[in-house]
Structure 1
Amino acid sequence: MKKSTPTVDRTLLSILCGGLLAPLTLLPDAAAAAERVLAEVIVTAQKRAENVQDVPIAISAFGAVELEERAIGDVAQLSNIAPNVTLDAGTPFSGSSSVLSAYIRGIGQNDFAFNLDPGVGVYLDGVYLARTTGSNQDLLDVERIEVLKGPQGTLFGRNTIGGAISIVTREPGEEFAFRGDITTGSYDRFGVRASVDLPLTDTLTSLVTVGMKNRKGYQRRIAFPADGVFAFDSFQDFKAAGYDSAPREGGDDMWNARAKVRWDAGGPAAFTLSADYTDIDQSAIANSVLAITPVPGPFAGAPQDNLPGTAFDPTASSGWLFAGLYNFCIGSTPAEIAARNATNLCGPRGTPLNPQWMLAPLASVNVDDDPFNDRLPYDARFLLDDPDLSYADGNSFSKLENWGVAGVLDVDLSNTMSLKSISAYRQMDWSVGMDLDGSPLAMLHTSFNMYQKQWSQELQLVGNALGERLQYVVGVYYFKESGNLNDFVTFSEGLLQIDGPNDLWTENYAGFTQIDWRITELVGITLGGRYTREKKRFEGFQSDLQGHNYKLFNCLPVSEPCRTALDFPDPDNPLRYYVPGEQEKTFSNFSPRLGVQLHPSPDMMAYASYSEGYKTGGWTTRLSNPLPPDPETGVAPAPDFDEETAESWEVGVKSQWLANRVQVNAAMFKTDYNGIQLNFQQGVSPTIQNAGDARIEGAEIEVLAELGGGFSLTGSWGYIDAKYTSVLPEAVVAPSPFQAGVFVGAVLPKTPRNKFNVSPRFEFPVSNGATLVLLADYTRTSRMRNDTEGTFLLERPATDQLNAGIIYRSANGHWDLTLGGTNLTDDRYLITGQAQIAGGQIYGTYNRPREWYLMLQVRQ
């Protein structure tokens, strides 16, 4: 793979490395400076404010200053510095960096579909964000982030089976204050943020923060150097969620705002009203085609997809993938097409049932007498060895409007008891369009519309008794969500065109409690549980605008006998895959938490715990074939999947040493992970099914140290061994030359065995009372699967990431200037991708290249 190293990047690397090494000569003088101790970190992981060292849960917590200094601008960028955590900006064919693929200790979700719930819950000021879309939050005016490891089913609830990420934003100050920053950098980066604390009265304070970010994409689209004149269909000839191309992919164009108003008269009650808004209108994330697979062969390689007597009959000379079918249609004579029973498949695209989407036939266009209708075959000519170049020219857009309002009421009922109410409404409107085939052809174009709204209400009664030796929380929770997702997918210049609207509705009730009792100075225990009941409704309308199955079996024109014979379930829409009518499922779960703590000294706590969590089930919405009817009922079932559950055992220790200058936290865990929901490729459809069970074992350690003389060091190591212990027969994928497979003993996706991070920081005085800060982050991550089947071309190899920065801090503290670089090793690897074998390609998204930035921060 080709790598380019611009001169400015080499220069930046030299400056940063030189800057990091030079201060070592200053250590003797710096050692005379006053020594610092570790700052106390307050978290609310257990619904009350407490020191993170007193919480018997493995937590990685990051404060505002740390996030700013390390140039962490969104949730996904936490991945490098949190052990046993894998966070990526984007999932297969999501097209959007606002989609969060989150895995903690081997459990998560790598899809964006409305019907699929996350395995790691993301919370914004206590409000659950129900979709992976929009969960990769821009960290605007954040006070801290808490990453909670392991099932958090008791206090956080459903869909936190892997863990939870809690984003806590800053509260309004009691005095006027202003802070802001302006950033420039690689790819014409330009960003501005400003925040104002504005007291309105003696009892009313407010906070308003706005930000914007713009950056050109790092992948350039270039024209394919075709030798001759060829005909093309416009990407606008196919039904899609929108039409908007772009010369570059992987860019940023967004703005956001957050506002808070807090009333506090000093009495028993206080109320905070907050609102946030995000608007994104940018290109899709970059995609690179890794392999093109148009060669003859059994359709999708699955026996159920090999159809005797049709063009996909493997007993004939060959079967086809969809890309191969396209190449056959354009390059074969009418006689050759007829001999393969493919006259209708290669004929007019679309059907008279949807005349607005009909296009001219592809049959024999390259072998007839008209040189002006010739078309390019789809083959390896479109492969590039540079991940920052592409021949794609179709849709490339990612648009998101995401907003919410929340009201938080805090009431002190007595000196030992308080009540908190969190009421929230959120709404999201998202659309995205991608050209995933890396060519000027419409071989794989996908686009989506999603609309979602949610309401939630939570009540928490928090208190203490027995002289604060017993802490408790009791709560109830209600959540309601509704919306729709429309899928539009074009394969092989319209030889298959999927139109997939789906409607979903969810309602959830829960009650929970947890008691932490310090029985003696040495021993404490934790008892808790949560009961959840959930109801879901779904209706799928997915259909094929091309009428592919009817053409495959030469069943034209579309008729009632053909519809019945081919198992299409809707007499009113003979192209519809899904059975008509609303589907409904109900789930219930009890998630307990048990724990014991030992406190041998004020600076040390050892703990052991058992906890459970669950992720709700649902329906597969992506079909490319109708399902056969049930023999007993005569009605085709909706393809559904069950919930998944986890039981986790953990032992750990939290400790501080050397007069609070060194902190060492460590944990070991084992999780039984059952009913795993994984994304499998069935033909051209990525579908969700329960794969089986797994056992996950691992350990992690986090160290913080103030070493004196202005030098501090943080580091972490995570180890995890996550393998299937049982796999359902229908989920087994046998190893092959291009995929590792899914079987007992195979590893889970997005789960590297080892991750090591070290982050040195050196702060020392310079002239005129100013301060210079030098810092770096180095992370080594072992290889991992990026997809369920373990496609070798999509595998993420072992990676080395280095970020670094130099901060000049003014003497009066009113301004800072930061020069920094990210991915200074220019280590390029795939963060996501798909093996769309039936469609004819394997493609993926690479991480961002080496970049520099310069940021000026001001505060008043």
Structure 2
Amino acid sequence: MKNMLLMSTSLSLSLFLLTPVQAQEAAEQDSFKGFEIEEISVTARKVTENMQDVPVAVTAFTGDALERRQINTTTDIGKITPNLEFTNNAPLAGNPNSSIIFIRGIGQVSPRANSDPGVGLYIDDVYMGQSVGGTMEFRDIAGVQVLRGPQGTLFGRNTIGGAVLLSTKEPGEEFGGTVKTRVGTDNLRQIFAGVDVPITDELKTRFTMGHKSQDGYVTRLYDGTKLGDTNNTTITAKAVYTPSDNFTIKLNFDHTQTDENGAPLVFAAYGNNTDPTVAQSAAFFGAIQSIAAGCTDAYFVGGGGPGAVVSYAPGFDTSIFDSVDFIAWDAGAGAYVKTVGGPPLGYTAENTDSRCANNQWNAGPYANNGTGPVGSSMENWGVSLNMAYDMSDAVTLKSITSYRELNWTGKRDADNTPFTILHTDYDSSGDQFSQELQATYSSDIMKGVVGLFYYEEEVVDILTVALGERESLDSDNNTVQNDAWAAFTQWTYDITDKLSLTGGIRYTEENKGSIPDQFDYADPDAKYLEVKLYEEKYTATTFSGSIDYRFNDNFMVYASYSEGFKGGGWNSSFNVPQSAEALENFHQFDEERAKTIEVGFKSDLLDNTLRLNAAAFFTDYTDLQFVFRAGPAPYLLNAGKASINGFEAELTWVPSENWIIEAGIGYLDDSIDEVVDLSGLGVSTPISTDNSLPFTPEIQANLGIGYTNYIGNLEVSPRVDISYRDQTFFDTANTVEIAQMDGVTTIDASIAVQPQDGNWQLVFSMNNLTDEVYPVSGNSSLTTGSGYAEAAYARKRQWFLSLNYDF
């Protein structure tokens, strides 16, 4: 009912906005083009094709379409793309530029370099190897493609869920450019400038610079720091050289710098043992800190066998131990002692005593009580060389060479309380190199691609952790050394004018290496595990195939099969010395795989005024890399098998040149079919076949209505966009304290005004018009000794005023 009310309200608002436009509608202008169904080119099969001719579930947007729908960052794409979840603030990172990407229920939440993304992110054909840096502004984007389902043949490993392809604008033929400025809520200040500079007829260049600053929206009550702020600058340069009609060279450079206060994380819950008579290990860090602060409603007893002395602050009511069967008075020791073996035990009462670590420190979704160091920064730059040579009308050779460096930091107070329960300080620096060679062939009845791919990366992570159980700091340092190569080919044969068959295969070989250097700073020479290179080779052969039939120029049906895999690796979050048995259980994790059958259709109907595309799919997902916790540390372990079935449908309707209606819906039915029994390993994250996969809402939907017409010499274009997301969990344990437990409907609205000659445009817009409060990501350690849970919420209602000028 609530969602229907919101949708009705938004439609009423759109009519309200449109009424004066219609009332004052001027005579038709000769130059007025209005809306139309666009022909969109995609590269889902490594060659440029019309999206409606590709038997792949792909959603594609031009840069103009993104601007029309007020899609300004990568995290906005999920609002208009069914079955895509794209958010930021990945667990542990403490950096708002980190990204979490899921397509059809498959992705990865960990930002660490030792784990691979489940969805590949590409910019101008270059693979971005790390999740940090994936959250970025759309400043000079020519288009976005979202490829759903495993893309293991043409795009390789780490596209088990799919791939997101971004392309930037090409240099223009003449000197000119664009300047865009934007102001808005929370002291938003944004400027972008792009200029095309043709050097000669053969050499064209384009340069851009963009800066954005915006105050944070989560207040630290301790010092007034505003978390979740934005302060980034990006510069790019692109040169395109065409020495002949059949040879093109593109050189790209980009550099992004950020310096911000840190992720907008807030207190979500604390896993206290509220019954002092129950033996519970969770949240004993807080019990230790509470006792040290003088809390008289807390006790702690260490792990191991009987005899450990119970700790408590002066004033604690020891009569409570009379009803506790695992604590007894020891006259010889002159103290209360533990009478059983097992892990450490802790208890802290729920009260309003500021000396006690408990749930009183929940300050709501836009404030927190943390006092630990916070802050984040990032420097991300890269260069790529893309060369294409047409050997003939049928054969093209292509080379894509890239080098990138990524350095980032993230400091976070994970417990968001005045106590030192768990704080992290992440400092990462790394580089990657990739080389891809392609040969494409195209004739009247056959087209295909043959390629080789090589990738290597080295990332040094310096992770320092403050744990509430010890006075010294803990080191989780790790160096990742990975390399991979692959050979692939895919061919499409037109059996008849209407029937086509496609098949592809890829062989991948990768080496995953880890050099841990992990210790307690109180004794840095005592390593938790031997400091050396741990290395493992993974290989995979993945297949894909499809058949499509075109009834006519405007309607095609297809069926496809695809496979994908995401590499294994090495865990690197040890905080105690490890035995050989523990390393056998926790050190290494294996790859995961997905196989998908898909059927769908693509259609342009009603004299090309209505586009309707839809697909249904059935996915087997095996050896899932779930996040478990043994103590406070997160580990990736292969612990399950799942099934994910669903569908997507997308519609674009242009009933007249003045109106456009765009809509999409996605449905996911996921089930965890098998869970490996890990109870003997001491992991504490409860996962069962009753759980749902993270970032897998059952229903996603979007609806956009736009109108355009002239008032005098001004083109006026109001628009309303509605987005809905069903209940969504953010971890495999389905922790309700951090989840989005209710469906959320958001409404965005805008009105754009520009003159007939179109050299400037003024846009007023609002996001989250109804001021919805909802989480976008979260992290839970409630069942461990640290006992914390944290969440990040979306900004509340925002307004923007933009002025764009072309010259």
1:514 to 467, 483, 490: 490
Residue 289 of structure 2 contacts residue 419 of structure 2 at CA under 8 Å; is this kept in 1?
no
1 CA distance for matches of 2:773 and 2:15?
20
Distance verdict in 2 for CA 1:474–1:491, change over 3 Å: same
SS of structure 1 residue aligned to 2:437: strand
2:577 to 609, 626, 634: 626
Does structure 1 residue 777 correspond to structure 2 residue 721?
yes
TM-score, with structure 1 as normaliser: 0.83
2 CA distance for matches of 1:752 and 1:615?
22
Residue 435 of structure 2 contacts residue 455 of structure 2 at CA under 8 Å; is this kept in 1?
yes
Q: CA deviation at 1:270?
A: 1.4
Aligned position for 1:799: 744
Q: Which amino acid aligns with 1:249?
A: L
Distance verdict in 2 for CA 1:297–1:99, change over 3 Å: farther
Q: CA deviation at 1:391?
A: 2.1
2 CA distance for matches of 1:13 and 1:487?
49
How do 1:540-555 and structure 2 match up within 5 A?
A: 540-545=516-521
Distance verdict in 2 for CA 1:258–1:338, change over 3 Å: closer
1:760 to 692, 705, 719: 705
Distance verdict in 2 for CA 1:636–1:39, change over 3 Å: closer
Aligned position for 1:651: 599
SS of structure 2 residue aligned to 1:79: helix
Which has the higher mean CA deviation after the structures are superposed, 251-260 or 319-328? 319-328
SS of structure 2 residue aligned to 1:322: helix
Residue 16 of structure 1 contacts residue 820 of structure 1 at CA under 8 Å; is this kept in 2?
no
SS of structure 2 residue aligned to 1:509: strand
Distance verdict in 2 for CA 1:25–1:627, change over 3 Å: farther
Q: CA deviation at 1:497?
A: 3.2
Q: CA deviation at 1:111?
A: 1.3
Per-residue Cα deviation, 1:479-522 (whole angstroms, up to 9, x for no partner): 11112112112122854732111011111110111101111012
Aligned position for 1:484: 460
1 CA distance for matches of 2:378 and 2:12?
39
2 CA distance for matches of 1:375 and 1:342?
25
Distance verdict in 2 for CA 1:462–1:337, change over 3 Å: closer
Q: CA deviation at 1:201?
A: 1.2
2 CA distance for matches of 1:729 and 1:31?
70
Aligned position for 1:555: none
Distance verdict in 2 for CA 1:845–1:319, change over 3 Å: closer
How do 1:598-617 and structure 2 match up within 5 A?
A: 598-617=549-568
Distance verdict in 2 for CA 1:155–1:34, change over 3 Å: closer
SS of structure 2 residue aligned to 1:67: helix
Q: Which amino acid aligns with 1:279?
A: Q
2:361 to 382, 386, 391: 382
2 CA distance for matches of 1:460 and 1:375?
64
2:656 to 701, 708, 712: 708
Aligned position for 2:694: 749
How do 1:20-169 and structure 2 match up within 5 A?
A: 20=18, 22-23=20-21, 36-169=35-168
1 CA distance for matches of 2:534 and 2:494?
48
Aligned position for 2:541: 590
How do 1:401-550 and structure 2 match up within 5 A?
A: 401-465=379-443, 468-492=444-468, 494-495=470-471, 497-545=473-521
Per-residue Cα deviation, 1:189-228 (whole angstroms, up to 9, x for no partner): 00000000000112111000110000000112224xxxxx
SS of structure 1 residue aligned to 2:407: strand
Per-residue Cα deviation, 1:2-21 (whole angstroms, up to 9, x for no partner): xxxxxxxxxx9999884256
Q: CA deviation at 1:440?
A: 3.0
2 CA distance for matches of 1:496 and 1:785?
34
1 CA distance for matches of 2:634 and 2:380?
26
Aligned position for 2:532: 581
2 CA distance for matches of 1:337 and 1:772?
67
How do 1:42-441 and structure 2 match up within 5 A?
A: 42-223=41-222, 247-295=225-273, 321-331=284-294, 341=308, 376-384=355-363, 386-441=364-419
Distance verdict in 2 for CA 1:381–1:338, change over 3 Å: closer
2 CA distance for matches of 1:475 and 1:743?
41
Aligned position for 1:19: 17
Per-residue Cα deviation, 1:589-622 (whole angstroms, up to 9, x for no partner): 1111111010110111110000100000001111
Number of equivalences: 750
Aligned position for 2:791: 844
Aligned position for 1:859: 806
Q: Which amino acid aligns with 2:723?
A: T
Unmatched tracts of structure 1, length 5 or more: 1-11, 224-244, 299-312, 347-373, 548-571
Q: Which amino acid aligns with 1:592?
A: F
Q: CA deviation at 1:24?
A: 6.2
Residue 421 of structure 1 contacts residue 457 of structure 1 at CA under 8 Å; is this kept in 2?
yes
Distance verdict in 2 for CA 1:732–1:855, change over 3 Å: farther
2 CA distance for matches of 1:487 and 1:343?
32
Q: CA deviation at 1:389?
A: 1.8
2 CA distance for matches of 1:149 and 1:724?
20
Aligned position for 2:730: 786
Aligned position for 1:811: 756
Q: Which amino acid aligns with 2:556?
A: M
Residue 59 of structure 2 contacts residue 81 of structure 2 at CA under 8 Å; is this kept in 1?
yes
Aligned position for 2:779: 834
Pairwise CA RMSD: 3.0
Q: Which amino acid aligns with 2:525?
A: N
SS of structure 1 residue aligned to 2:580: coil
Residue 586 of structure 2 contacts residue 635 of structure 2 at CA under 8 Å; is this kept in 1?
no
Question: Whose strand proportion is higher, 1 or 2?
Answer: 2
Which has the higher mean CA deviation after the structures are superposed, 437-446 or 148-157? 437-446
Q: CA deviation at 1:726?
A: 0.7
2 CA distance for matches of 1:399 and 1:603?
49
2 CA distance for matches of 1:264 and 1:256?
27
2 CA distance for matches of 1:27 and 1:749?
49
Distance verdict in 2 for CA 1:27–1:119, change over 3 Å: farther
2:678 to 730, 749, 752: 730
Per-residue Cα deviation, 1:516-559 (whole angstroms, up to 9, x for no partner): 11110121000111110111111112223357xxxxxxxxxxxx
1 CA distance for matches of 2:790 and 2:586?
30
2 CA distance for matches of 1:24 and 1:531?
59
Residue 27 of structure 1 contacts residue 709 of structure 1 at CA under 8 Å; is this kept in 2?
no
Q: CA deviation at 1:35?
A: 7.1
Distance verdict in 2 for CA 1:457–1:337, change over 3 Å: closer
2 CA distance for matches of 1:582 and 1:722?
38
SS of structure 1 residue aligned to 2:79: helix
Spell out structure 1 runs of 4+ moving beyond 4 A: 12-17, 20-36, 317-320, 336-340, 342-346, 493-496, 635-638, 731-736
Residue 776 of structure 1 contacts residue 802 of structure 1 at CA under 8 Å; is this kept in 2?
yes
TM-score, with structure 2 as normaliser: 0.88
SS of structure 1 residue aligned to 2:678: helix
Q: Which amino acid aligns with 1:199?
A: P
Residue 511 of structure 1 contacts residue 530 of structure 1 at CA under 8 Å; is this kept in 2?
yes
Distance verdict in 2 for CA 1:344–1:469, change over 3 Å: same
Per-residue Cα deviation, 1:225-245 (whole angstroms, up to 9, x for no partner): xxxxxxxxxxxxxxxxxxxx8
Q: Which amino acid aligns with 1:481?
A: E
SS of structure 2 residue aligned to 1:53: helix
Q: Which amino acid aligns with 1:573?
A: D
Q: CA deviation at 1:69?
A: 2.2
Distance verdict in 2 for CA 1:412–1:400, change over 3 Å: same
Per-residue Cα deviation, 1:276-334 (whole angstroms, up to 9, x for no partner): 00001011121111223343679xxxxxxxxxxxxxx976x98861101222344389x
Q: Which amino acid aligns with 1:517?
A: Y
Per-residue Cα deviation, 1:11-68 (whole angstroms, up to 9, x for no partner): x999988425654667998899877531110111111111100111011101111112
Q: Which amino acid aligns with 2:253?
A: A
Distance verdict in 2 for CA 1:474–1:693, change over 3 Å: same
Q: Which amino acid aligns with 2:517?
A: F
